[in-house]
């Protein structure tokens, strides 16, 4: 899942709509690879909502329409959308060291995935529990039944996120993987399924601020749940990464 919209033209807090493209999964992907585009995701969000993505990440109402092919205008395949919600980690004040954020545990961000006929396929939800500083997401089917838990590895007794540096190749050298897990405790990882924020290369990381994610689906995932997991990838980006762009 590749961020198509460059952030180099962003002016102050004025964030453009963020479009994405979807490509086939490659296990040992590197930023020099050029993969064919399978789908195009176009965002539609209000100007006010986009401007507040830094102080209130994940709060804005937005809709991503997924088109077949390399550009918008093709056949609509499915959508991801959310209304206005509370932010998962809003800014409470700015200081010399940067923004001070406080986790929120009510009315948290979620994305609903619907097919081209507006039928609900499933929902991705940001989850709050006693480990406030570890982001975690619950993936539900169309009936609201939990199917997956998406959460990074932890340390310090489960209180902190465990980062990985150097234990990988190419785009996976520097990353925080979000393994896709069983929905019930102890949340064991399913196969090697994960959503991983990739190193997109120096130009994208430093100049255009484009994000890139690999999504390896669990072998048990249905076609509908694969679409919902793409929505989970977007929810990870708008709640955790977009605020720093």
The whole-angstrom separation of Cα 227 and Cα 223 is: 7
Contacts of 84 (CB under 8 A, 6+ apart): 49, 59, 60, 61
220 CB-near residues (< 8 Å, 6+ apart):
190
CB 79 within 8 A of CB 114: yes
Tell me the pairing of strands 62-68 and 37-45: antiparallel
Return the pLDDT at 208.
52
CA dist 72 to 39, 75, 229, Å? Answer: 9, 9, 21
Concatenate the DSSP letters of all residues of the chain into one string: -EE-S-STT-BTTBPPP--EEEE---TT--TT--PPEEEEEEEEE-HHHHHTTTTSTT-S-EEEEEEESSSTTS-EEEEEEE-----SS-EEEEETTEEEE----SS--EEEEEETT--EEEEEEEE--S-TTS-EEEEEETTS-EEEEE---EETTTTEE--EESSSSGGGSEE-EEEEE-SSTT-PEEEEEEEEE----HIIIIII---BEEEE--TT--HHHHHHHHHHHHHHIIIIIGGG-
* Residue 171 confidence (pLDDT): 47
CA angle 156, 105, 98 (to 5 degrees): 70
pLDDT for res 54 = 85
Per-residue pLDDT 10s for the chain (245 aa) are 998 886 665 555 577 899 999 999 988 776 677 889 999 999 999 988 888 888 899 999 999 999 999 999 899 999 999 999 999 999 988 888 888 888 898 999 999 999 999 999 999 999 998 888 899 999 999 999 999 999 999 887 777 888 766 555 444 555 678 999 999 999 999 999 999 988 765 555 554 567 889 999 999 999 999 999 999 999 999 999 877 65
| Rounded Cα–Cα distance for residues 162 and 156 (Å) | 9
- pLDDT of res. 245: 52
What per-residue confidence (pLDDT) applies to 211?
84
CA distance 147 to 228: 11
């Amino acid at each position: 899942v590749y961020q198509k919209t460059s952030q180099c033209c962003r002016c102050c807090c004025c964030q453009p709509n963020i479009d994405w493209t979807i490509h086939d999964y490659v296990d040992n992907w590197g930023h020099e690879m050029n993969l064919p585009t399978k789908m195009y995701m176009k965002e539609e969000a209000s100007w006010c909502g986009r401007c507040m993505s830094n102080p209130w990440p994940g709060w804005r109402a937005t809709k991503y329409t997924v088109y077949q092919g390399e550009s918008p205008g093709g056949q609509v395949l499915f959508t991801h959308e959310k209304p206005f919600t509370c932010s998962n980690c809003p800014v409470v004040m700015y200081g010399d060291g940067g923004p001070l954020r406080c986790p929120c545990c009510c009315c948290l961000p979620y994305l609903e995935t619907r097919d081209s006929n507006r039928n609900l396929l499933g929902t991705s939800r940001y989850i709050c529990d006693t480990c406030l500083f570890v982001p975690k997401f619950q993936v539900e089917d169309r009936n609201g039944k939990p199917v997956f838990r998406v959460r990074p590895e932890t340390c310090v007794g489960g209180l902190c996120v465990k980062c990985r540096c150097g234990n990988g190749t190419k785009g996976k050298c520097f990353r925080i993987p979000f393994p896709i897990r069983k929905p019930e405790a102890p949340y064991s990882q399913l196969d090697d399924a994960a959503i991983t924020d990739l190193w997109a290369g120096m130009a994208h990381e430093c100049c255009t601020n484009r994000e890139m994610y690999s999504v390896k689906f669990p072998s048990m995932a249905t076609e509908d749940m694969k679409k919902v997991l793409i929505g989970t990838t977007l929810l990870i980006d708008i709640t955790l990464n977009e605020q720093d762009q």
